[in-house]
Structure 1
Amino acid sequence: MLPLRSLSAFLREGTLFYKPTTLAQFRFDLRLPPKTRAALNQSRLNIPGIRSRTAGMTYDLVADLDGIESAGERGRLLLRPAAIQTCYGWWVPEAYRKGVEEEIRAASEKRASKIENLTRSLKTGIESGKVKKDARARFLKLHRYLERNGLSAGESFTERSKCLE
């Protein structure tokens, strides 16, 4: 191997892989006020599909639909042992490229299968009315909890109340 005298020479000795950031497919931000989120985080209230995160609270449409959840196991692909993270993406030396490509292919197939299952379950749940029925029951439970504890749901509280009637 010849000594590498430039960044471009270094990069030519390997392959760059771009790792896109993915978001949860079926989750929606509830946009609750900070005081309400803090109170809900401290409470023991458990409503399937409603999850708290540092930035906010989300609702997952497919929670418990056919026993699955869109936020289930993440299945992270770890490139670090064979790659170096750069501002351009993950740089993989040629000696490791085939192995990394195989890992990426397998992870992509697994993710595609998971998304197909979620989509099929969501479609079936919408057609049968289960998604709407579950959402109504879950938001009613949340609404009653907020009302009982004097917590605000934010500016859309009135509109949310109309939907629950």
Structure 2
Amino acid sequence: MKLRVVWRKLSDYVRYDLKEIAFPSSLPDPPHIKKRRKLTWKERYYVLKEASRLYAASWVRDIGPDLRPNDYKKDEESADKPDEANSTINRKEPSTLEDLAVAARGGMETLRPALQRVYMTRASAYRDALKSFIQGYQEGIQQVMAGKEDPKSQKKDDIPSKSI
């Protein structure tokens, strides 16, 4: 009798619990969610084709206007401006990320100073922001204190003082 109970519990475990552990079922969708229809084979092919095209295009250094149209709109607008404006745009310094990428290629000897520059830049920006905040806070306190002192001084002037 006990062997039959053990066999039933073991088979139930394998049939229900083990299946749920190996392949957990997801929670059911909320009632307001409408299920999408399944894609046809032709639609799946088009999705795969477009995804692979975008993936292949992302491996190129200059990915073009297909993936980043907003960046190319800025370049077209700057092309309409005089040559002086274009020359200043072309002479801009490399970004911090580009600087770190170049330094990382050079090895640890070049990466260490680049990281120190990044940390010092961040520290100085944090220090400047903190100074600005403290200065504004002190000005605010002075304004509040001046506002509190003015009514008191007016009340003291209103009260006649007794002379001895």
Is TM (by shorter chain) over 0.5?
A: no
TM-score (norm 2): 0.25
Structure with a larger share of its residues in strand: 1
TM-score, normalised with respect to structure 1: 0.24
Larger radius of gyration: 2
Name which structure has the greater RCO, CA cutoff 8 Å, separation 6+. 1
